[in-house]
Each structure stands twice: as structure tokens, then as C-alpha cells.
């Protein structure tokens, strides 16, 4: 798997080809087809797409921090054609440590904007989840598309054009890897997609999460002291008491810096 940020356009591409052998891998019935999904930004600066899913139009957050393919509201679960409930509950937690018990389901055959996927697994989401980035903010409450929906696919998230594209390979997406793209190796884990960052010559793992408004680190996990910055240097709205910020570097990108925040 690779993360390919382009130096000239605000876009990232995920190549998830190594997952195609998974027994739950999804496949499109029409080869070489590209599905384009325009998205908008919500109030928390996360990408929201409006898609047709088995004949029903709904809004979804694109969340690469979530592994499960679909997170649906209960009313959508009740009326979505072809959905089959599964026994038991699925346990999830958010960044604050709060625990949620979710209903489980699978969809043998799913159509999204005309592209067909098979054996799609999902859970219910009925309670706002996540960390508030300011005292007066509201926890996000959206249905979500997670990484497992894209098994065996190439996915382009173009922030400049505000468009998500899904295809069988990068060639179909019209991407020339040699044209200003930087390849960053990623690791898919039970926590999500991990990427290496550096602080004071020490390496750390971070999750690549399009469903997060800001990047967050835990100060107690740092291996050396750091110079604290104001969180408003990263996001001017961040005046949360106890918030600190610092700069990290993407391991494979040399001196390229990213601003991260820590909540005490």
C-alpha cells in the first residue's frame, strides 16, 4: 500500500491492491470502471459525499480512520434493500475512550453510484463520536465509508477538486506516478492506516485519518522533550485550554513539516 501526495496538486491516492486476496475483498462487476464522487466539507472540515446506495441517496463521511466498510444510521439499516442483520454486537471506542456497542450487518450485493461491490460488512452508528476541538463544538454525527469498502481498489482523494475516485488500478485513474508524486509506504493495521513521522530524530506511528479535523499526538508517548507551540499556530480556532502543538516531519519526505496538536 502506498500514500502518494502530489507536490503540485492537493491530492492523495491510496493503492490497496495487496488486499484483493482477502476473503471479504470487494470487486466491481465492470472492470476498469472509475467511480467519481464529488464531496463537500462539513463544519468540522471533513469530506462528505452524497451517493446512491442500493437505490437510496444518503450523505457519508469519507473516513480513512475507520476500517469497517459502512457505518449506517438505524433508520437507513431498516430500509436499505438487500441488507442482512448479523447476530451479536460490535464494540468500538473513540479517541476519548468512550465505548460503543453497535449492531452488525452485511450486504451480499451493494451498488454505489452504479458500481457493484460484494459481501460488504457494516455496523450501526447512532451516537455522536469523537473529540471536540473547541469548548463550543459539537461531536461529529455522520454515516461513514471506511477503508474496507476499497479493498482491491485504487482510491484517489483529490482535495483540490473535491472529488473521490475509485477504480481497479492507478492507470485507470489517469495517474502518472512519475509526474510529481511521492511514494510513502503505509501499513494497514487493526487501528487503521499507519504512517511514520519524526520528532527530534525519533520515529513515531500516526494514523492517516480523513475523518479527523486536526492531527493529535499524546505528549506522554514522546521519547524526548519538545518545544511547545500554541495550538492556534496550527488552527486559529483552537483556543482549547490545555492544548499544545508541535511540529513533526514525515519520515519519507525529509524536511516537510506537519503541525500536530496534543490535548492535556
Output the domain CATH number for residue 70. Answer: 2.40.70.10
Residue among 210, 217, 220, 213 nearest 249 (CA): 217
What distance in Å separates the CA atoms of residue 235 and residue 246, rounded to the nearest whole number? 12
Choose the final residue of a domain: 135, 170, 185: 185
**249 touches 257 (CB < 8 A):** yes
Split into its structural domains, the chain has a count of: 2
Tens of pLDDT along the chain (264 residues) come to 444 444 444 555 454 433 332 333 333 344 448 889 999 988 877 899 999 999 999 999 998 888 899 999 999 999 999 999 999 999 887 766 778 889 999 999 999 998 888 899 999 998 766 666 566 666 667 899 998 998 888 888 888 889 999 888 777 887 776 777 777 777 877 778 888 888 888 888 888 888 777 777 777 788 877 777 777 777 776 666 677 788 888 765 544 445 444 443
Going by C-alpha positions, the residue among 48, 238, 220, 160 that lies closest to residue 259 is 238
Whole-prediction pTM: 0.76
Whole-number pLDDT of residue 83: 95
Q: What's residue 43's pLDDT?
A: 80
Within this chain, do residues 172 and 208 fall inside the same structural domain, yes or no?
no
Among 185, 202, 223, the domain boundary falls at 185
Instruction: State which of 167, 185, 203 marks the end of a domain.
Output: 185
Distance in angstroms (rounded) separating the CA atoms of residues 187 and 221: 20
pLDDT for res 171: 79
C-alpha cell recorded at residue 212: 479527523
Do 138 and 208 belong to one domain? no
Q: Mark whether 109 and 211 lie in a shared domain.
A: no
Predicted local confidence at residue 7, as pLDDT:
42
Query: Which of helix, strand or coil describes residue 22?
Result: coil
At CB < 8 A and 24+ separation, what contacts does 185-190 make? 185/1, 185/2, 185/3, 185/252, 186/1, 186/2, 186/3, 186/14, 187/1, 188/1, 188/16, 188/19, 188/147, 190/67
Judge if 110 and 211 occupy the same domain: no
Looking at residue 236, which CATH number applies to its domain?
Answer: 2.40.70
Are residue 165 and residue 112 in the same domain, yes or no?
yes
As a whole number of angstroms, the distance between CA 35 and CA 115 comes to 7
Distance of CA 45 to the CA centre of its chain: 13
Domain span at residue 35 reads: 2-185
Amino acid at each position: 500500500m502506498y500514500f502518494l501526495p502530489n507536490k503540485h496538486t492537493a491530492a492523495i491516492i491510496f493503492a490497496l491492491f495487496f488486499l484483493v486476496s482477502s476473503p471479504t475483498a470487494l470487486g466491481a462487476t465492470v472492470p476498469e470502471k472509475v467511480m467519481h464522487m464529488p464531496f463537500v466539507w462539513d463544519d468540522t472540515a471533513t469530506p462528505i459525499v452524497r451517493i446512491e446506495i442500493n437505490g437510496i441517496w444518503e450523505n457519508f463521511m469519507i473516513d480513512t480512520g475507520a476500517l469497517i466498510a459502512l457505518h449506517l444510521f438505524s433508520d437507513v439499516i431498516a430500509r436499505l434493500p438487500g441488507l442482512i442483520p448479523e447476530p451479536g454486537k460490535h464494540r468500538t471506542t473513540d479517541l476519548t475512550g468512550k465505548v460503543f456497542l453497535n449492531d452488525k450487518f452485511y450486504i451480499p450485493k451493494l451498488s454505489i453510484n452504479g458500481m457493484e461491490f460484494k459481501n460488504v460488512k457494516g455496523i450501526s452508528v447512532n451516537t455522536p463520536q469523537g473529540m471536540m476541538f473547541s469548548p463550543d463544538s459539537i461531536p461529529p454525527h455522520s454515516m461513514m465509508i471506511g477503508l474496507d469498502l476499497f479493498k482491491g481498489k485504487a482510491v484517489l482523494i483529490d482535495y483540490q477538486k473535491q472529488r473521490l475516485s475509485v477504480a481497479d488500478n492507478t492507470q485507470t485513474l489517469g495517474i502518472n506516478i512519475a509526474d510529481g508524486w511521492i511514494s510513502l509506504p503505509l501499513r494497514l493495521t487493526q487501528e487503521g492506516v499507519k504512517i511514520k513521522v519524526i520528532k527530534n530524530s525519533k520515529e513515531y506511528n500516526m494514523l492517516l485519518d480523513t475523518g479527523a479535523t486536526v492531527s493529535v499526538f499524546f505528549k506522554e508517548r514522546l521519547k524526548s522533550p519538545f518545544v511547545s507551540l500554541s495550538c492556534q499556530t496550527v488552527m486559529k480556532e483552537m483556543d482549547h485550554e490545555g492544548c499544545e502543538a508541535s511540529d513533526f516531519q514525515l519520515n519519507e519526505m525529509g524536511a516537510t513539516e506537519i503541525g500536530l496538536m496534543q490535548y492535556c
